[in-house]
Structure 1
């Protein structure tokens, strides 16, 4: 196996708990803005909460928690969207030594009941009446649950009132006994396969990646002399969101919360708050790109945008070669063309997301290299990082001045990464979790001699850059024995503007297939732009044929990056996207492959039957399928 680590940096060692950073910053720089809040729900006006104001509210909430019997080691669940109260409550809980148990607000009744019971929660914070009703249906089976606090019903004010008689010295005494290795959060895995498990994350493990990133990369989050500003829109119920919150609080970055992930709400927040660094998942960056393209086409500038995008990618490739010592950089003609598009296109694209974003970070899954190159070419380098719940967030980052798109960078200083003989990524370092609560066997299986077996597959190149190739449990093995990692194909399919989601299937099947969902907004735009003439029946048929040709082109483009035996030979376009409500997506927007395969079992079977019939039967010999050159055109 290959092994790689970078030398540790001078990030100061943690001596207490996560809450200490709020108190230290309030003492050091009390008036620095820490939180931006809207004056009203739909307002574009943001008001600032200073470090000392945030500390004082955290102290008042901590007093209320103590008065309600919350003590060191107590577990309190927070089931709410990303909002200011999440931050204030979590740091109040850490101040008294309690443990935070994040629950995504869209979790099912069964998921909520399982987490509250498994974590033995003493209290739960919900957002609204719907959350109260969900808890009400499960609380009879939760004898340890003592409190249900509702944010929209004045929960914070209630806690502050309850704690009025608790002295400050009590809060300080509890805060000072919190040690770095005390458990700070029990964060549940996404549960893409099987029941979610609670990962015990210490104060040290949550602080470690934040401190290393701030020490090595913090200065790149804004222009010199400017306070970095971050729009927190990802769920704090996921470890990526918790890491973003930690970065802001520990680094003194201005943080705004956006609980609504809809396109309209997020776009408005980006334009009004104007962050300097953008954190997202690949689907967010894909959506922004498709919106750029759709807007350009609607204004009659589609060809101009596509030429500008091609130039941006070419410029980024040439720049990458130069910084890696493999070329001389963009030539004169390319630099001239890029400069023209900077004035006419790229500046406007950056303005659409606030106009101040210098860099961005993508996490949760791998970002397509072409998409990364596009953003770099328009002036926003997107770092594609890697991490998981069990590592408290990120464990890799792109070295400054040596960024390599298509990879997730190199291990963070102080973190070691190995790739085992079977391709599995192993991680060791201060951010690795303490283990799964109530499951020693699973903890022993994951932690092998101090190394975390991630379950992810990857490879390290000669310069130590890590590329993620998929998940071990996601690898598809066809009936002919071909092993296929679906991530590359799915990523490539989603690059087509019409395709919203894609799931590659094919276990024990003669060939690889795909389930595809379409982007409803781009589909509506595409239909309007098609503008077919003639009577309705013929027009509908021609439209379906045109759509089939577009999807065939997308499939062909995906197949071009894999071998023939790994290529998609059949597909089916589904009428509805995969979503959390149907249990087909995790809260972190990952595909629940097993659930999708079960839900669409009939469609998958019909897909293979439709193309595989030979004299009324499905071929049993894979050789009979070798002549397939076209993808199945099945639309439902």
Structure 2
């Protein structure tokens, strides 16, 4: 058994709640821009809101919720894409004394019914008329649900009017804001549910204070008031984006929110954040798109040399002598030809990014640091209020998920399981004492992940206990290691390793829908039908190269011997991935049982 901890850098308030942050900001930084929303007349322009203006808008919306009958401790659901109104209403719910229940806007009616019913939500704010219609079809199953507000139909303005008409005063809102204490629930975040029904993780105001306060202090150069800014495009229903939202308010730094990654390049260019928040797939896409563009412009070899130089340069930074003179000169040349342009694509001002949700991979970690855009990889779960470990800005170890959050403890049990202790942990699963007792014991949370700690306390995650495969030959295989390497190839969207109880390891692979047409065009196969393309020997060879790259990271016994390319990507709509992009392995295994059997025929 091994454990590591760092002293807390932030003193969690003995009491109080997250609404104290926006009141403090208005008092200490009244004119500082803390929020930014897109100008509806010009998507390339942003409208800033000062700390005072944001507090005013939050309190006005909170008055409407109080007028609607929201009482202290009542659960109010939020079902919307990432947008300014999400953050506004999150804080408004807290100011009304309520508890926010996030719901992914892509959730099925069955999922929505379960979350609203299990949480006992008395109201829900949805984004669109389609969402409202879906909720309307569930009303008979939700006796506690009273109100449905729709953002696209002026929900915020409606709440403000309701508060004014009911005569809810600023004093009343202030009194209600103070009802919740540090150990009161702030939110119930339902897990993505890779197996079974989602469980509601109860996260208190104290947990967010401990989490965000120590993140901001440890990454202080990135969270300087008046200097820093972050653009959120990940779902705010996910705890990772939610944590960064609150950390931005806590710092405070300027926060912008956009619905998705479809317009990400334009949004980064117009907002110009100093910090970028993403998941590995986003950083893979940026790399692959840049390489594909270079190939299309006849500069593929230059890009590949530049990428190799960036990786070598980053690796040399960790060596005693640092980069050689020759390497520094090559790096300087490619900085002018390639790296500077890539940083411009990422907004031009950002020097750091925070990555979570899955493994980034050593190759990408070194590539980005080598171009002057350091991606700080972290690790956490919904139950740990997002990050429980992350790489510090000044002592990054590429390939690890960093050191424990200050003020917490990471322990590696005798069987390799990662265990956590600290104020940032959830208080339990809502209405599910049995599930809580399974993972919480004497203040320690059993994550179900397997990992190692090095002598400096840097954590490396090697897999999930439940996902460890044992081949017929008795070899233990952690799928994540090889899956991450295979998925790094531009052609590959997803990879799922199989082989439990089988004679060897195999894999199911899906292809990237955006990159596949580009590959076909570059290889003179643009006229082929999708069916013919998937059966093309050259495409199979390209996927085999991705598999070979993955196999290079593991032993022979752990390597993928055979693979099957599936006809379409895994999607949330198909039921094969969660909203946070995690594979539902049991669903994939069930739906593609025949394909798996064919790998062992």
TM tier relative to shorter chain: over 0.9
Q: Quick check: 1:567 aligned with 2:569?
A: no
Match of 1:177, SS state, is coil
Deviation at 1:407, TM superposition (A): 0.1
Task: Mark the CA change 1:62 to 1:523 in structure 2 (over 3 Å): closer, same or farther.
Answer: same
Q: Distance in 2 between matches of 1:374 and 1:550?
A: 22
**Is the 2:513–2:569 Cα contact (8 Å) retained in structure 1?**
no
Aligned counterpart in structure 2 of residue 489 of structure 1, from 454, 460, 482: 482
Could you say what the CA RMSD is over the residues aligned between the two structures, in angstroms?
Answer: 1.8
Q: Distance in 2 between matches of 1:543 and 1:343?
A: 41
Aligned counterpart in structure 2 of residue 382 of structure 1, from 369, 375, 386: 375
Unaligned 5+ residue runs, structure 2? Answer: none
Q: Quick check: 1:503 aligned with 2:496?
A: yes
Alignment of 1:169-568 (within 5 A): 169-221=171-223, 227-262=227-262, 265-321=263-319, 327-531=320-524, 544-568=536-560
Q: Deviations over 1:222-250 (max 9, x none)?
A: 7xx86211111111111101101111111
**Is the 1:11–1:215 Cα contact (8 Å) retained in structure 2?**
no
Q: Deviations over 1:31-50 (max 9, x none)?
A: 11111111127610111111
Deviation at 1:207, TM superposition (A): 2.2
Q: Distance in 2 between matches of 1:163 and 1:536?
A: 61
Deviation at 1:399, TM superposition (A): 3.1
Deviation at 1:15, TM superposition (A): 3.2
Q: Counterpart of 1:616?
A: none
Match of 1:219, SS state, is helix
Deviation at 1:481, TM superposition (A): 2.1
Deviation at 1:396, TM superposition (A): 1.1
Q: Counterpart of 2:67?
A: 67
Normalising by structure 2, what TM-score?
Answer: 0.97
Q: Distance in 2 between matches of 1:176 and 1:18?
A: 10
Task: Mark the CA change 1:332 to 1:14 in structure 2 (over 3 Å): closer, same or farther.
Answer: farther
Q: Counterpart of 1:621?
A: none
Match of 2:201, SS state, is strand
Question: Which stretch of the first structure deviates more once superposed, 575-584 or 172-181?
Answer: 172-181
Deviation at 1:14, TM superposition (A): 5.5
Task: Mark the CA change 1:448 to 1:247 in structure 2 (over 3 Å): closer, same or farther.
Answer: same
Deviation at 1:96, TM superposition (A): 2.1
Q: Distance in 1 between matches of 2:504 and 2:289?
A: 34
Match of 2:411, SS state, is strand
Larger Rg: 1
Q: Distance in 1 between matches of 2:533 and 2:389?
A: 49
Q: Deviations over 1:138-188 (max 9, x none)?
A: 110111000011111111111111111111111111112221111000001
Q: Quick check: 1:589 aligned with 2:581?
A: yes
Match of 2:376, SS state, is strand
Task: Mark the CA change 1:32 to 1:536 in structure 2 (over 3 Å): closer, same or farther.
Answer: closer
Question: Which stretch of the first structure deviates more once superposed, 438-447 or 9-18?
Answer: 9-18
**Is the 1:457–1:472 Cα contact (8 Å) retained in structure 2?**
yes
Task: Mark the CA change 1:542 to 1:230 in structure 2 (over 3 Å): closer, same or farther.
Answer: closer
Q: Deviations over 1:415-451 (max 9, x none)?
A: 1000001111000011000000111111111111100
Normalising by structure 1, what TM-score?
Answer: 0.91
Task: Mark the CA change 1:42 to 1:583 in structure 2 (over 3 Å): closer, same or farther.
Answer: farther
Q: Distance in 2 between matches of 1:345 and 1:235?
A: 31
Q: Distance in 2 between matches of 1:11 and 1:306?
A: 47
Match of 1:199, SS state, is strand
**Is the 2:314–2:369 Cα contact (8 Å) retained in structure 1?**
yes
Q: Distance in 2 between matches of 1:517 and 1:303?
A: 27
Q: Distance in 1 between matches of 2:545 and 2:87?
A: 46
Q: Distance in 2 between matches of 1:41 and 1:603?
A: 50
Q: Distance in 2 between matches of 1:459 and 1:443?
A: 25
Task: Mark the CA change 1:352 to 1:393 in structure 2 (over 3 Å): closer, same or farther.
Answer: same
Task: Mark the CA change 1:541 to 1:157 in structure 2 (over 3 Å): closer, same or farther.
Answer: closer
Match of 2:323, SS state, is coil
Count of matched residue positions in the alignment of Structure 1 and Structure 2: 598
Q: Distance in 1 between matches of 2:328 and 2:463?
A: 36
Task: Mark the CA change 1:518 to 1:462 in structure 2 (over 3 Å): closer, same or farther.
Answer: same
Match of 1:44, SS state, is strand
Q: Deviations over 1:95-144 (max 9, x none)?
A: 12210000001111111111111101100111111101211121101110
Task: Mark the CA change 1:543 to 1:480 in structure 2 (over 3 Å): closer, same or farther.
Answer: closer
**Is the 1:493–1:502 Cα contact (8 Å) retained in structure 2?**
yes
Q: Deviations over 1:597-626 (max 9, x none)?
A: 1111121122322xxxxxxxxxxxxxxxxx
Question: Which stretch of the first structure deviates more once superposed, 392-401 or 496-505?
Answer: 392-401
**Is the 1:320–1:403 Cα contact (8 Å) retained in structure 2?**
no
Q: Distance in 2 between matches of 1:59 and 1:562?
A: 55
Q: Quick check: 1:9 aligned with 2:5?
A: no
Deviation at 1:520, TM superposition (A): 2.4
Match of 1:570, SS state, is strand
Deviation at 1:457, TM superposition (A): 0.8
Q: Distance in 1 between matches of 2:431 and 2:226?
A: 46
**Is the 2:451–2:462 Cα contact (8 Å) retained in structure 1?**
yes
Unaligned 5+ residue runs, structure 1? Answer: 322-326, 610-636
Match of 1:480, SS state, is coil
**Is the 2:226–2:254 Cα contact (8 Å) retained in structure 1?**
no
Q: Distance in 1 between matches of 2:147 and 2:533?
A: 59
Task: Mark the CA change 1:293 to 1:184 in structure 2 (over 3 Å): closer, same or farther.
Answer: same
Q: Distance in 1 between matches of 2:377 and 2:73?
A: 35
Deviation at 1:10, TM superposition (A): 4.3
Q: Counterpart of 1:617?
A: none
Q: Counterpart of 1:50?
A: 50
**Is the 1:122–1:147 Cα contact (8 Å) retained in structure 2?**
yes
Q: Quick check: 1:607 aligned with 2:589?
A: no
Q: Distance in 2 between matches of 1:536 and 1:358?
A: 42
Deviation at 1:541, TM superposition (A): 8.5
Task: Mark the CA change 1:10 to 1:605 in structure 2 (over 3 Å): closer, same or farther.
Answer: closer
Task: Mark the CA change 1:567 to 1:15 in structure 2 (over 3 Å): closer, same or farther.
Answer: same
**Is the 1:532–1:543 Cα contact (8 Å) retained in structure 2?**
no
Q: Distance in 2 between matches of 1:29 and 1:251?
A: 11
